[in-house]
Structure 1
């Protein structure tokens, strides 16, 4: 009964615990559900759909999928489970390149005028623009690589935005940007070792470089540029405006392409990983 298709007990449980607790339970819970989807039950997607419907009823256009909630924590856990191959094929090479570069330089992307010489700043800016463009271009040409469940969730988000936030023409882009970047791509860039993209901990310099890249990408997904508070970074704004326009085209194409004939290869969850998820779930409850 715990894993019936309606997930009555799971929904009841999630309704009475705090989002903070869900943040630690999301991944093991979704691991269990994804494993049972291998038996032909669409229970993980059923739960995501239910939570999205609940989320949109209590959030505003400025908070939908932006705040840490039960829905966003569950989706983050789900994305981490089903999106590993996508991350490997899109951002891993870029992440490795940034880490390798950072090991040889303390100022790989530094733009603050009080930290670098004019020549270093010019070189770092070119470096930063190049890697941002490469990552954006890779992501925005990756539709065929995106797992079907992620596309289905994106379509649901677009549908809800159209129905309930029609007065805000940018809502669909910022909501899907929050789903794909804030909850998935940017965390994987900042902490690749937690997404099995890197085998070990990173140096402080490498982490700082990845955080900066993530920050720029998240602003693009939010349809924003740097302001006067980050004056040293405003030299990126022309490139970011260009990428924001491309991002809108990409999201529009992503949610309007017919995916009815596409199939999804179930994610394999080993017995050991499944058993560990069960132990982890009940240990934290």
Structure 2
């Protein structure tokens, strides 16, 4: 465990903007390195300014707004970890009961004619629309219960993108990229990896239903209908078009400045000293053998 002097030294290093810029340029987004920092700064209510700086780095490097935030970088992984850290309880409240219901219900959402009989397609499509609408409605109604810290993040992303491109054309897709592509949909596709405790059996039929649901939800969030890449999903396009306005309204609501009034911060049940120790431990494990054998104090001095 770190002593007070070492802890203060580490804080002085990681709170500098240059540290995060260097981390971004090195493209080091290993979970063992970044997650303890995200947890520490979330608990200290200092994570948003860091994300602000990282968004600037991302915008300077990537000039095509259509693929912005689609790949993995320090920026996207910091935001991913922040969402999973600050949004864990929200995710459980919103999605966990729904996934349980899907897995307990003996219905199929399979609409690929190569994977099910022709006679079942219409009924499967109907069930997919029923459960899909239930999910969309649940997401929309849970806008008010989203943590203020996440609303502040999405407000930052939206306004940052609008300011950079001088248009609101790309701000929606940037918010939905994190909210749906990197948060909601992965939790639906693999609940256990997101600490969702599903009581029902997660068999292959359940996973297939969740996969089809996630496909539909992602297209609704993107505001696009299905095309040639997945022709069998085209039958869902009327449903997708019907749901797009509700998701648009949801995204506007959770990225609005109105939510920043009397905002509360996220406090985690963590040991901040332990998180800093985990960060340093990972650093020591990934430097050369000579540095690894040095005294920690000397190592910290060499970091500056």
The answer to whether the aligner puts 1:71 opposite 2:71 as a matched pair is no
RMSD: 2.6
Q: 1:65 to 1:16 in 2, by over 3 A?
A: closer
TM-score by length of 1: 0.84
Query: What displacement does 1:13 show?
Result: 4.8
The answer to whether the aligner puts 1:14 opposite 2:23 as a matched pair is yes
Aligned partner of 2:11 in structure 1 is: 3
Of structures 1 and 2, the one scoring higher in RCO (CA 8 A, sep 6+) is 2
Partner-residue secondary structure (3-state), 2:185:
helix
Q: 1:22 to 1:7 in 2, by over 3 A?
A: farther
Whole-Å Cα distance in 2 between the matches of residues 227 and 100 of structure 1?
Answer: 31
Aligned partner of 2:290 in structure 1 is: none
Query: What displacement does 1:228 show?
Result: 2.5
Cα deviation, 1:236-266, whole Å, max 9, x if unaligned, reads 1011011112222222333335123233253
Query: What displacement does 1:8 show?
Result: 4.1
Aligned partner of 1:157 in structure 2 is: 157
Query: What displacement does 1:148 show?
Result: 1.3
Larger Rg, first or second structure (1 or 2): 2
Q: 1:9 to 1:157 in 2, by over 3 A?
A: closer
Aligned partner of 2:59 in structure 1 is: 56
Cα deviation, 1:56-85, whole Å, max 9, x if unaligned, reads 222221122222111001100111011011
Q: After TM superposition, what 4+ stretches of structure 1 lie above 6 angstroms from structure 2?
A: none
Cα deviation, 1:87-122, whole Å, max 9, x if unaligned, reads 112111111112223xx56xx111122332334212
Partner-residue secondary structure (3-state), 1:91:
helix
Counterparts of 1:1-285 in structure 2 under 5 Å?
1-4=9-12, 6-8=15-17, 10-19=19-28, 21-23=29-31, 25-35=33-43, 37=44, 42-59=45-62, 60-101=64-105, 104=106, 108-166=108-166, 169-198=168-197, 202-271=202-271, 275=274, 278-279=277-278, 282-283=281-282, 285=286
Cα deviation, 1:126-178, whole Å, max 9, x if unaligned, reads 111111111111112222111112111111121122222235x5311111110
Structure 1: runs of 5 or more not aligned: none
The count of corresponding residues between Structure 1 and Structure 2 is 273
Whole-Å Cα distance in 2 between the matches of residues 26 and 190 of structure 1?
Answer: 24
Q: 1:12 to 1:150 in 2, by over 3 A?
A: same
Q: 1:187 to 1:212 in 2, by over 3 A?
A: same
TM-score by length of 2: 0.80
Structure 2: runs of 5 or more not aligned: 1-8, 287-304
